[in-house]
C-alpha cells in the first residue's frame, strides 16, 4: 500500500472513530461532565504511554507554550462537556449537526486574528447554516430539550473553533499526540472538582465504556489523524472530517436505533454542505 493510500485509510478510520465518540453520550450512564473528565483522564494516560514507548519528547519548547497549552486545555474541556451534553439532550444526529457549524464559525472568528473581514460567500454560508439550524429546532422554547441541545452544540462548536485557531497560530509546531496530552491533562484537572459520581461508584459497565471511549475513540483517532497528516494536507483532512456527522448518524441508527426525521436530514444537509464548502474553499485558496 502506498504511503498516501495508507494515510487516507488512517484518516477515514480516525473520522469514523470520532463519529463513534458521540454514541457514548447515550451509552454511558453519567452526565456529560463526568464522561468528559474520565474520558480525558484515560485518554491522557494512553497518550502518555504512547509517547513514552515511542520515546518522543514530552516537554514544550518555551515557557509561554505552557500557558497556551493551558488555554487550549480549558477550551477543549468546555468543548467536550458541551459536545456530550448537546447530544444527551437533542440526540446523536441533531447534536453532531449543531456541532458541525464550527467550520462556518471559524471563518467568522479567524479574521479577527488576521485583520481581515468575512467575505460575501462566508455570509451566504452562514445564512445556509442558520436555515439548517432553524429546521433542527422544534420550537423557540429554550426549555425544550432539543432546542437546548442545539444551542449547546453550537456553543461546543464555538469553543472548538477557538481551540483550532489558537492551536494553528501558536501551537502547530507540536505533534498531535503531544498536543492532546496537555489538553487532556488540563481538561481533566480543570473539571475533576465538579465530578458528581466518584470513580469508585462508577459501575463496571460504565467504566469499561469509559476505557473504550478514552483509548479507542479518543487517543487512537487523534494519533491516526496526526499520522495521516504526514502524507496528506490539512485541507484534505478537513474535507474528509465533514463525513463525521454522517458516520455518527449511521452508527446511532445502527446501534441505538435513533432514526432522524426528514426535516433533520434536510437541516443537516444544509449545515454539512456549508461546512464542506467552507473547507473546500480553504483547500482551493491554499492551492
Output the pTM of the full model. 0.83
CA distance 134 to 271: 10
pLDDT in tens, 12-28: 898 899 889 989 999 99
* All three cell numbers of 165: 485557531
What dihedral do alpha carbons 115, 119, 125, 131 form, nearest 10°? 90
The burial class, CB within 10 Å (0-12 / 13-18 / 19+), for 90 is buried
Residue 192 confidence class, pLDDT cut points 50, 70, 90:
very high
pLDDT in tens, 101-122: 887 787 777 777 766 676 777 7
Q: What one-character-per-residue DSSP string does 150-207 give?
A: HHHHHHHHHHHHHHHHHHHHHTTTS-HHHHHHHHHHHHHHHHGGG-SS-GGGS-HHHH
Q: What one-character-per-residue DSSP string does 272-287 give?
A: HHHHHHHHHHHHHHH-
Nearest residue to 246 (alpha-carbon basis) of 4, 22, 11, 9: 22
* All three cell numbers of 158: 464555538
Q: Is the dihedral of CA 262, 12, 15, 169 positive or negative?
A: negative
Ranked by mean pLDDT, which of 114-128, 203-217, 254-268 comes out on top?
203-217
Share of the chain above pLDDT 70, in %: 89
Give the pLDDT score at 236: 65
Query: Is-contact 16 247, C-beta < 8 A?
Result: yes
Between the two ends of the chain, the Cα-to-Cα distance in Å is 26
Q: What crossing angle do the helices spanning 63-90 and 145-170 adopt, rounded to 10°?
A: 160
| CA distances, 85 to each of 80, 148, 210 (Å) | 8, 10, 16
Residue 72 confidence class, pLDDT cut points 50, 70, 90:
very high
Residue predicted with more confidence, 222 or 48: 48
**Residue-range domain boundaries for the chain:** 3-286
The region, left, alpha or beta by phi > 0 then psi within -120 to 50, assigned to residue 103 is alpha
Instruction: Of 15-24, 137-146, 213-222, 245-254, give the lowest mean pLDDT range.
Output: 137-146
CA distance 158 to 154: 6
As a whole number, the mean pLDDT across the chain is 84
Give the pLDDT score at 233: 62
Q: Is the dihedral of CA 270, 274, 275, 279 positive or negative?
A: positive
The percent of the chain in helix, strand and coil, each rounded to the nearest 5, is: 80, 0, 20
* Cβ within 8 Å of residue 280, ≥6 positions away: 239
Give the pLDDT score at 264: 81
* All three cell numbers of 67: 500557558
Amino acid at each position: 500500500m502506498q504511503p498516501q493510500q495508507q494515510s487516507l485509510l488512517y484518516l477515514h478510520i480516525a473520522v469514523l472513530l470520532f463519529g463513534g465518540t458521540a454514541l457514548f453520550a447515550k451509552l454511558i450512564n453519567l452526565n456529560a461532565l463526568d464522561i468528559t473528565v474520565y474520558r480525558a483522564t484515560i485518554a491522557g494516560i494512553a497518550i502518555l504511554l504512547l509517547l513514552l514507548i515511542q520515546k518522543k519528547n514530552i516537554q514544550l519548547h518555551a515557557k509561554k507554550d505552557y500557558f497556551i497549552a493551558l488555554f487550549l486545555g480549558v477550551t477543549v474541556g468546555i468543548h467536550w462537556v458541551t459536545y456530550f451534553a448537546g447530544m444527551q439532550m437533542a440526540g446523536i444526529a441533531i447534536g453532531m449537526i449543531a456541532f458541525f457549524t464550527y467550520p462556518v464559525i471559524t471563518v467568522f472568528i479567524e479574521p479577527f486574528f488576521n485583520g481581515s473581514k468575512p467575505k460575501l460567500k462566508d455570509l451566504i454560508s452562514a445564512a445556509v447554516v442558520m436555515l439548517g439550524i432553524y429546521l433542527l429546532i422544534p420550537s423557540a422554547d429554550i426549555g425544550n430539550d432539543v432546542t437546548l441541545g442545539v444551542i449547546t452544540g453550537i456553543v461546543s462548536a464555538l469553543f472548538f473553533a477557538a481551540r483550532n485557531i489558537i492551536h494553528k497560530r501558536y501551537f502547530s509546531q507540536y505533534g498531535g499526540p503531544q498536543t492532546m496530552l496537555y489538553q487532556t491533562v488540563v481538561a481533566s484537572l480543570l473539571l475533576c472538582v465538579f465530578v458528581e459520581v466518584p470513580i469508585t461508584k462508577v459501575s463496571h459497565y460504565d467504566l469499561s465504556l469509559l476505557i473504550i471511549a478514552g483509548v479507542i475513540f479518543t487517543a487512537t483517532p487523534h494519533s491516526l489523524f496526526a499520522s495521516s497528516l504526514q502524507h496528506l494536507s490539512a485541507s484534505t483532512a478537513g474535507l474528509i472530517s465533514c463525513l463525521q456527522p454522517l458516520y455518527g448518524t449511521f452508527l446511532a441508527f445502527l446501534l441505538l436505533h435513533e432514526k432522524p426525521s426528514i426535516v433533520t436530514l434536510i437541516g443537516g444537509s444544509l449545515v454539512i454542505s456549508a461546512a464542506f464548502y467552507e473547507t473546500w474553499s480553504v483547500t482551493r485558496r491554499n492551492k
